[in-house]
């Protein structure tokens, strides 16, 4: 087999799938995924929360353009709600007041809270621990599966396709075409889109380019029983202001995480007992809730550029090699915007409506900033 197309997307996580769906509006697109189904790694292990007040200025500016998409998806995209409102609450000890003040100055949607207001929102909080805080009323829980399925349908409707179980063994460039060799046969296109997540740098190396410093970092999460004395239904996502831990309701249970960022090689990430113990300890210290049992545990890899900013654009060393990587922990919440940006950069499609402001971030996410001359 020798399949030729306009664009080959490497990786069927939410970044690759959404970009492919947008590109398929005007081009032939094939997505190659080495696992047996899309979204196995970072996407499928996401905490699934829309937090437009989270991240650096570029991340926030790009993420906020997705709010309309999540609240009112395009006709036919999905039959379910993509976004269910849930506030985010950043909590701080007395010695973290400066971090609270800094965040309040930087993000204008945040509301200052005192200990009483925080305990009112999460009665389990120890008011001697959480003495200062902030509320972000703009966030909510995201239905990642519905988002993935919506983009998969859109891609198929537009004539694109996803091929799973495809292990790329070699990438080369001949006569204006990238050739991707696999056990199933060869795929070729003038442009490849590197949406390989934790494997983004290895894919670049396979293509004859050096990596740009995309580093996978492990993030651990566990589910525990909700304490019987509390109704957790409307609890906000509650985060330590310096990202030492967070917790939130999840399908009747509580999801807790130590917010770890442990460097890791690209792999099928698994949780480590030490990180689970840290999560439980920090949660119990802040709330006084004794965790007797962990019901489920998992880990995923969040992949960051050195400056923790997205990497979207053509590699200046080789026109035809396009980066869509470094989404960190913001890949799901930024997917519609980064897909629109990718479509714009590769085809000239106009950025309009809520996405018009994305043009101001193109230089900030350009991979050229990370390439050593």
> What pLDDT was estimated at residue 23?
98
Mean pLDDT, the chain, rounded, equals 95
SS3 258: coil
- The DSSP code for 101 is H
CA distance 305 to 365: 10
Residue 200 confidence (pLDDT): 98
CA distance 278 to 139: 26
Of 284, 232, 222, 289, nearest to 257 by C-alpha is 222
Q: Which domains does the chain have, with CATH numbers?
A: 2-65+143-214+307-370 (3.50.50.60), 88-136+215-304 (3.30.9.10)
Q: CA 175 from chain center: how many Å?
A: 35
| Per-residue pLDDT tens digits for 38-79 | 877 655 566 689 998 889 999 999 999 999 999 999 999 999
3-state SS track over 278-343: HHHHHHHHHHCCCCCCEEEEEEEEEEECCCCCCEEEECCCCCCEEEEECCHHHHHHHHHHHHHHHH
**Widest CA span of the chain, in angstroms?**
68
pLDDT exceeds cutoff 80 at 212 = yes
What are the backbone dihedrals phi and psi of residue 161, each rounded to the nearest 5 degrees, phi first?
-150, 155
Backbone angles phi and psi of 295, in degrees to 5: -80, -35
**In the predicted model, what is the mean pLDDT of residues 148-156?**
97
| Residue-level pLDDT at 37 | 85
pLDDT digit string (tens) for 298-316? 999 999 999 999 999 999 9
* Structure tokens belonging to residue 3: 């399949």
């Amino acid at each position: 087999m020798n399949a030729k197309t306009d664009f080959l997307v490497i990786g069927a996580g939410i970044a690759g799938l959404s970009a492919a769906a947008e590109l398929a509006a005007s081009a032939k697109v094939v997505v190659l995924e080495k696992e047996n189904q899309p979204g196995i790694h970072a996407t499928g292990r996401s905490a699934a929360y829309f937090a437009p007040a989270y991240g650096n200025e570029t991340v926030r500016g790009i993420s906020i353009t997705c709010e309309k998409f999540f609240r009112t998806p395009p006709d036919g995209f999905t039959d379910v709600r993509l976004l269910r409102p849930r506030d985010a609450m950043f909590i701080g000890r007395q010695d973290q007041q400066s971090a609270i003040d800094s965040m309040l100055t930087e993000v204008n949607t945040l509301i200052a809270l005192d200990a009483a207001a925080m305990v009112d929102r999460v009665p389990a909080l120890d008011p001697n621990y959480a003495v200062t805080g902030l509320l972000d009323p703009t966030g909510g829980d995201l239905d990642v599966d519905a988002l993935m399925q919506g983009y998969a349908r859109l891609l198929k409707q537009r004539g694109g396709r996803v091929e799973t179980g495809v292990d790329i063994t070699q990438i080369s460039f001949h006569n204006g075409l990238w050739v991707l060799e696999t056990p199933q046969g060869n795929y070729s296109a003038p442009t490849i889109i590197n949406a390989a997540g934790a494997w983004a740098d290895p894919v670049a190396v396979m293509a004859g380019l050096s990596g740009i410093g995309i580093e996978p970092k492990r993030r651990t999460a566990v589910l525990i029983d909700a304490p019987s004395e509390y109704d957790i239904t409307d609890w906000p996502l509650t985060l330590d202001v310096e990202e030492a831990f967070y917790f939130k309701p999840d399908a009747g249970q509580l999801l807790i995480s130590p917010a770890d960022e442990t460097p890791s090689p690209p792999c099928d990430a698994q949780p480590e007992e030490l990180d689970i113990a840290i999560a439980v300890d920090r949660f119990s210290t802040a709330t006084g809730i004794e965790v007797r049992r962990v019901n489920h545990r998992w880990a995923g890899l969040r992949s960051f550029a050195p400056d923790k900013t997205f990497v979207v654009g053509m590699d200046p060393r080789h026109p035809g090699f396009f980066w869509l990587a470094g989404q960190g922990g913001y890949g799901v919440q930024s997917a519609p915007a980064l897909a629109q940006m990718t479509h714009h950069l590769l085809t000239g499609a106009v950025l309009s409506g809520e996405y018009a402001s994305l043009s101001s971030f193109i230089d900030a996410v350009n991979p050229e900033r990370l390439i050593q001359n």
